[in-house]
Copies of this chain bind each other. A is one copy, B any other.
Amino acid sequence: MNATHNENGLTASAFLATSVDGFIARDDGGLDWLVGRGETLGDTGYDDFFASVGALVMGRGTHDVVKEFEEYPYAGKRLLILSTSLESTEWPDATVHRSLDDVLETLAREGITKVYVDGGKTVSTFLRAGLLDEITISVAPVLIGSGIPLFGPLEGDVALELTATRELGAGFTQATYRVVRAAS
């Protein structure tokens, strides 16, 4: 059907960075190749993107990384954590959900129609469930040789449609793709 949003009216978007060789992190999760390059990056569009979503959905991996930050970066944003292991969260406006169905039901009940899906595993979960609509990828000008691939193994190819491309600062490029869904 080549839908621009899911059947339930939800639009789910990812906003990621990779190396030129397609890794989102080193094998141990390290992001040193990415951070520290941002000084002259300019406007990546992230702030506008973040402001446009009604909620953020992430997994425990991202939760545990963000938990260590000195400052909570998602103030004022509704946040859903998809995790079978996290007991609870003390973050404001945040809830823990044991299943993707529960996440979707909660979003529908709250009338949230646009979500930012973050974290490699959660993005993959949405992608494999046919629920990811849009991917913005910023490519850092570096080869790191090995690491965690963008989405990991897929059941089949996922066709994308390029909707925007631009050059950021510091040698970064950015492309936005719409995920093309097969007829269902």
A interface vs B, CB < 8 Å?
18-23, 33, 127, 135, 137, 139, 141-146, 149-162, 165, 167, 171-173, 175, 177
Contact = CB atoms under 8 A, between A and B. Distances in A.
Number of copies: 2
B33 A150 contact: no
A137 B171 contact: no
A167 B162 contact: yes
A127 to B, nearest CB: 8
21 contacts: A20-B22, A20-B137, A20-B175, A20-B177, A21-B149, A21-B150, A22-B23, A33-B157, A141-B159, A141-B162, A142-B157, A143-B151, A143-B154, A143-B158, A145-B152, A145-B155, A161-B171, A162-B167, A165-B165, A173-B173, A173-B175
